[in-house]
Amino acid sequence: GVPSIDIFPTAHISPVSNFLFSGFLEHLGQCIYGGILPSTPTTFPYAPRNPCPQDQFTPTPEHLLTPEGFRKDVLEVLRDELGTPMVRWPGGNYVSSYHWEDGVGPQEERRRRPELAWGGEESNVFGTDEFIAWCRVAKIEPYIILNMGTGTLREALNWIEYCNGTGDTHYANLRRKHTGRDAPHNVRYWGLGNEVWGDWQVGQQTASAYATKARQWAHAIKLIDPTVVLIGCGETGLTEWDSVVLDELVDKVEMHSIHTYTGFGDRDRTQVEKEYGRSVYGPDAAEYAIEISRGLINKARVAKKVQKPIKLAFDEYGVWDETVGTPENGLRQIYNFTDALAMAGWLNVFIRQADIVDIACIAQSVNVISPLIVGPTGLFRQTIYWPLYLFSKYMRGGTSIRTAVASPTFAGETLPTWISTVKGLSAHLDVSAVLHANPDRVCIAVVNRAEKDAFVAVPVRIGHGFDVDETEVEVHEMWHADVKAVNGWDDPDKVKVASRREKWTGQRTFREHSLTLGDKF
Ligand code: AHR
């Protein structure tokens, strides 16, 4: 059909949660050791795990470190540019054999351990107190995942007591001793395990076995700290696992966690030409899963008469081609322009689904399948950094509002095909909008996902007194002639954002494969 975009500022979906712009740090590759700490900690002999052959492990110069010894550049980008509000830690698969007591206390007494999820060894140089210290400097809300693989309920309770205890009890006192301060860490958000359904997981379980155990854990955890927000372990949002776990946990948790990655290549690399479609339209399948989750959540709430809303924590999402970012290279993936469009699609999904998605964590925040790549003396921003930056800056803080889009559709292959088959074809134009208050203004994000076709003179109508014709708008556009273009050390700004002020006539051209963000209507 003929493309058009209608925006309805009075049709509110929900306030956009600040936590939609959250991140994730896992003890994997060079995320923690290299991204958060310098790759060679001075306090403890240390060999990086999963070393990347191309990296030089030279000590990080002093001026690149904060007084606490953290990488300053990474911290500043997350805090001052992206305003990352929350970070999930310590995994990921890693958490399923992580014992938190190995990572507290004097550095020289910490135990080195074999690392089971990704291989290599864990020095435990970075543990709970370091994570909290980093969060405080970075102005980030900590979100900790519990070990439901090799970990026990006793250990989990001790960890929560260590972080949040204010009484005269053993673990609260141990924290005081280690930190030299009375104040608790005050960790509000706790996840009940990671991907316990997966056969790669240490401690994989069936849905019902997990649900029974998680229910017991949730009960006990609320006894030790009734103020925590508990997040149950879901799968992708639409599976039998999700359904069973929600039915069992709906009255015991506040949120349900789900994960999906888009951009998987063909494992034999024979069909790479299909990558564009698979990657760019991929987030549509995740949106469909969110809608199914919403149904599963409400079904469970009705059955158990649970009045409080249960929200989704999409606490791992992103673009990851497992044939590129592998355990051998520490999941290091260089992203191209195509991947940036996929990232914009992901963020559109979260804005549109803002009434049910309360947390979204990009996987991951640094070096590991990440928008940021760090070297010994600096960092560069990958292509996927820029949509995250634009959405964090312009789509945060307001109210998500309804849009109606008429658009031609994409007939090629997207992933996962079985979801696309049920939900129908993906539209080329992918749109979300936010209403900001005081003064009222609308921000619109439009991704024209068509690889080859620009859409000319598309009517953009904003209801309720917002006059598109008369207003001068700030426009931020991402476009590159080559969808395979990448940023790198040699050309860190090849893919970036072009910003300008212009008058929209109410009819607008959206270039082929582009993201356009219009602000201040
Ligand atoms: O982010 C990389 C991995 O992807 C995480 O460790 C795991 O939870 C998921 O499978």
Q: When comparing pLDDT for 85 and 53, which is higher?
A: 85
pLDDT band, very low/low/confident/very high, at 245 (cuts 50, 70, 90): very high
pLDDT in tens, 355-373: 999 999 999 999 999 999 9
- Segment 370-381 mean pLDDT: 91
- Token pair belonging to 6: 């209608």
- Token pair belonging to 508: 């607008």
Q: Does residue 414 have a pLDDT over 90?
A: no
Ligand 1 pocket member 367 (CB < 6 A)? no
254 is known as an active-site residue = no
Kindly tell me the burial class for residue 323, based on how many C-beta atoms sit within 10 Å of its own C-beta (0-12, 13-18, 19 or more). Answer: middle
Ligand 1 pocket member 235 (CB < 6 A)? no
Ligand 1 pocket member 195 (CB < 6 A)? yes
pLDDT in tens, 112-149: 898 999 888 888 999 999 999 999 999 999 999 999 99
pLDDT value at position 208?
A: 98
Ligand 1 pocket member 370 (CB < 6 A)? no
Quote the mean pLDDT of the chain.
Answer: 91
The Cα–Cα gap between 373 and 385 comes to: 10
pLDDT value at position 62?
A: 80
pTM recorded for the entire structure: 0.95
195 is known as an active-site residue = yes
- Token pair belonging to 264: 């998987």
Ligand 1 pocket member 92 (CB < 6 A)? yes
pLDDT in tens, 339-356: 999 999 999 999 999 999
Q: Does residue 243 have a pLDDT over 60?
A: yes
User: What is the DSSP-derived secondary structure letter of residue 71?
Assistant: B
331 Cα–ligand 1 center, Å: 10
pLDDT value at position 54?
A: 39
Q: Does residue 56 have a pLDDT over 50?
A: no
| Cα-based angle 275, 412, 423 (whole degrees, multiple of 5) | 110
- Mutating to test ligand 1, I would choose from 26, 32, 201 the residue with most ligand atoms within 8 A of its C-beta, which is 26
Amino acid at 284: D
Which helix (H) or strand (E) segment holds residue 423: the answer is helix 417-423
pLDDT band, very low/low/confident/very high, at 57 (cuts 50, 70, 90): low
Plot region of 291 (φ>0 → left; ψ -120 to 50 → alpha; else → beta):
alpha
pLDDT value at position 265?
A: 62
Q: Does residue 218 have a pLDDT over 60?
A: yes
pLDDT band, very low/low/confident/very high, at 417 (cuts 50, 70, 90): low
- Mutating to test ligand 1, I would choose from 98, 195, 361 the residue with most ligand atoms within 8 A of its C-beta, which is 195
pLDDT in tens, 265-282: 655 555 555 688 888 999
pLDDT value at position 206?
A: 98
This complex has an ipTM of 0.99
Give me the catalytic one of 195, 235, 248, 275: 195
Q: Does residue 43 have a pLDDT over 50?
A: no
> Given the CA of residue 94, which atom of ligand 1 is nearest to it?
6
- Segment 158-178 mean pLDDT: 98
472 Cα–ligand 1 center, Å: 43
pLDDT value at position 377?
A: 81
pLDDT band, very low/low/confident/very high, at 55 (cuts 50, 70, 90): very low
- Mutating to test ligand 1, I would choose from 197, 259, 322 the residue with most ligand atoms within 8 A of its C-beta, which is 259
pLDDT in tens, 468-478: 666 788 999 99
The Cα–Cα gap between 133 and 316 comes to: 23
- Segment 326-330 mean pLDDT: 85
Give me the catalytic one of 161, 235, 287, 316: 316
The Cα–Cα gap between 394 and 360 comes to: 17
pLDDT value at position 270?
A: 55
Structural domains of the chain in order of their starting residue, each with its CATH number: 4-11+401-519 (2.60.40.1180), 12-400 (3.20.20.80)
User: Which residue minimizes the CA distance to atom 3 of ligand 1?
Assistant: 92
Q: Treating both helix axes as pointing N-terminal to C-terminal, what angle do 170-179 and 128-138 enclose, rounded to 10 degrees?
A: 60
Q: Does residue 336 have a pLDDT over 60?
A: yes
pLDDT value at position 291?
A: 96
